[in-house]
């Protein structure tokens, strides 16, 4: 049996970063992966979706060239089918054509032992991969997540996509029903609508994006509808059946939609099945997640750790990378704890949606005395020079401490300029300091100044 200091199950972003970090510090590390090295993000999720969004945004902007003073007449952009094909080719280049050989070579160059296959704990301190046994002092589970399918009768009888399939397939459907109004559903609905696909989005909730700030969600809905997406909230897909077009989907509101294909964007669940963790006495959470302590150690275990989507904590690539760093530092004796108060959330539509921390309702649920302030980006000078439709910023502060506890925005590149609020929430920067910041003119960052001043006055008033 081969022995290692650390065996990592899963070579997604967390596993890859963790393994290379530990190997760089002289630890003997085995990284076990049955799929692609790098996980979903570079090949089937983050990178291909952002590539498609950028292509859709560019096509949308090109249609506005006369309005923006960049052309005397609208250019010929070709057919939607041809443009979609070009976007797919670029997407596949960005996703390296789902070829992980370069990433695998990088691991080996870093001194990591890459073991291809499905790993399973067979006894304390031992993982089996086929007929190969790997001994470990510490085990890190970074097995990621898998798509969940909605309980729709007849789903297996009609054409469907998961988000992974939508971002690796080449065909452009004539019509699409997006089931799910979260980040992925909204992003892919906008992509397809901007390439001329008749797109319907359904979600049983009263607003898009779950429990995100309602005023932001309502503005995103308006953006999608302006792009041609038919948004149907308060309704869910109950039953599907084949029809001449492709699929007839019966909704809970008594209506039916006929589309060529369904895109299922109803979330993901932690991948903890058949890992053999029961051998170690590991107890999973309600959603099948690995429950971890503040050091990312699995609850009830001394030498088992977890990072990434499998923990069920803020399932984003940046969270996975953060947790990988926390685990690495602890395994290297540096005693580090994780702090999730300021993990940013983003929807990469155009305009983007971004948020961090708590909204007003969540803050009050935690017993905080909160005050909020808003800003219309239409009042910011950069909106005029950019020729955008503006946006909206919401800031939430804890009155007693005089600090931000949350922020949410929709606007051009909000995912970038919300970083100021991310730092403010994480570092508990006093409102007095935020109010004294000087922002370059003209930038969208100036949008912070009026609401921060308003919050500071409210906190001082007590």
On whether residue 55 sits in a domain, the answer given is no
Do residues 258 and 273 both lie within one domain?
A: no
Do residues 226 and 351 both lie within one domain?
A: no
On whether residue 298 sits in a domain, the answer given is yes
On whether residue 86 sits in a domain, the answer given is no
Point out the residues of the chain with pLDDT beneath 70.
none
**Average pLDDT of every residue of the chain:** 97
Do residues 281 and 319 both lie within one domain?
A: yes
Rounded-to-integer distance, Cα 194 and Cα 156, Å: 28
Rounded-to-integer distance, Cα 177 and Cα 202, Å: 8
Do residues 141 and 277 both lie within one domain?
A: yes
Contact, 316 vs 343, CB < 8 A?
yes
Task: State whether residue 329 is helix, strand or coil.
Answer: helix
Rounded-to-integer distance, Cα 242 and Cα 246, Å: 6
Tell me the whole-structure pTM to 2 decimals.
0.96
Do residues 6 and 132 both lie within one domain?
A: yes
Task: State whether residue 181 is helix, strand or coil.
Answer: coil
Do residues 143 and 13 both lie within one domain?
A: yes
Do residues 119 and 21 both lie within one domain?
A: yes
Domain span at 212: 155-266
Total domains present in the chain: 3
On whether residue 51 sits in a domain, the answer given is no
Rounded-to-integer distance, Cα 305 and Cα 140, Å: 5
Q: Check which CATH number belongs to the domain holding 451 and give it.
A: 3.30.390.30
Do residues 373 and 438 both lie within one domain?
A: yes
- Tokens representing 259? 């589309």
Sequence-distant (6+) residues with CB within 8 A of 165 are none
| Domain termination residue (choose one: 266, 289, 316) | 266
On whether residue 57 sits in a domain, the answer given is no
Strands (E), 117-246: 119-123, 126-129, 132-141, 145-147, 160-162, 175-179, 198-203, 230-233, 237-242
Element (H, E) at 373: strand 370-376
Do residues 273 and 136 both lie within one domain?
A: yes
pLDDT at 304: 98
On whether residue 91 sits in a domain, the answer given is no
| Domain termination residue (choose one: 266, 286, 305) | 266
Do residues 418 and 360 both lie within one domain?
A: yes
Do residues 262 and 407 both lie within one domain?
A: no
On whether residue 84 sits in a domain, the answer given is no
Contact, 34 vs 61, CB < 8 A?
no
363-386 tens-digit pLDDT = 999 999 999 999 999 999 999 999
pLDDT at 462: 72
Q: Check which CATH number belongs to the domain holding 135 and give it.
A: 3.50.50.60
On whether residue 171 sits in a domain, the answer given is yes
Do residues 119 and 159 both lie within one domain?
A: no
| Domain termination residue (choose one: 266, 296, 318) | 266
40-93 tens-digit pLDDT = 999 999 999 999 999 999 999 999 999 999 999 989 999 999 999 999 999 999
DSSP 423: H
286-304 tens-digit pLDDT = 999 999 999 999 999 999 9
Strands (E), 130-205: 132-141, 145-147, 160-162, 175-179, 198-203
């Amino acid at each position: 049996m081969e022995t290692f200091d650390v065996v990592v199950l899963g070579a997604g972003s967390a596993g890859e970063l963790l393994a290379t970090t530990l190997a760089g510090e002289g630890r003997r590390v085995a990284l076990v992966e049955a799929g692609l090295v790098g996980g979903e993000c570079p090949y089937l999720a983050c990178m291909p979706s952002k590539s498609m969004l950028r292509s859709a945004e560019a096509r949308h902007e090109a249609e506005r060239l006369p309005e923006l003073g960049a052309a005397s007449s609208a250019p010929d952009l070709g057919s939607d089918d041809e443009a979609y094909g070009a976007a797919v080719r670029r997407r596949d280049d960005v996703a390296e054509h789902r070829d992980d050989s370069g990433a695998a070579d990088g691991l080996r160059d870093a001194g990591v032992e890459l073991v291809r296959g499905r790993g399973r704990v067979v006894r304390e301190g031992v993982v089996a991969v086929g007929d190969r046994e790997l001994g470990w002092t510490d085990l890190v589970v970074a097995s990621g997540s898998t798509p969940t399918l909605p309980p729709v009768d007849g789903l297996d009888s009609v054409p469907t996509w998961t988000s992974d399939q939508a971002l690796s397939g080449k065909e452009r459907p004539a019509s699409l029903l997006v089931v799910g109004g979260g980040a992925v559903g909204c992003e892919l609905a906008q992509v397809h609508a901007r390439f001329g696909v008749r797109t319907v989005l359904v979600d049983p909730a009263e607003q898009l994006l779950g429990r995100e700030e309602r005023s932001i969600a309502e503005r995103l809905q308006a953006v999608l509808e302006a792009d041609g997406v038919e948004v149907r909230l308060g309704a869910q897909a109950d039953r599907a059946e084949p029809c001449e077009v492709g699929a007839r989907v019966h909704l809970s509101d008594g209506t039916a939609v006929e589309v060529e294909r369904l895109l299922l964007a109803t979330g993901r669940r932690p991948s903890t099945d058949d890992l053999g963790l029961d051998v170690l006495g590991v107890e999973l959470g309600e959603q099948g997640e690995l429950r971890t302590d503040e050091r990312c150690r699995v609850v009830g275990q001394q030498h088992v750790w977890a990072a990434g989507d499998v923990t069920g904590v803020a399932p984003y690539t940046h969270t996975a990378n953060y947790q990988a760093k926390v685990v690495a530092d602890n395994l290297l004796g540096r005693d580090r704890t994780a702090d999730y108060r300021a993990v940013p959330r983003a929807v990469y539509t155009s305009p983007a949606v971004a948020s961090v921390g708590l909204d007003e309702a969540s803050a009050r649920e935690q017993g905080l005395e909160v005050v909020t302030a808003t800003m219309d980006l239409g009042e910011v000078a950069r909106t005029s020079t950019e020729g955008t439709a503006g946006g909206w910023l919401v800031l939430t502060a804890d009155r007693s401490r005089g600090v931000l506890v949350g922020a949410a925005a929709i606007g051009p590149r909000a995912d970038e300029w919300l970083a100021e609020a991310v730092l403010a929430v994480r570092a508990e920067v006093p409102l007095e300091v935020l109010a004294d910041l000087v922002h370059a003119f003209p930038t969208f960052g100036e949008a912070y100044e009026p609401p921060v001043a308003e919050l500071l006055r409210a906190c001082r008033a007590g």
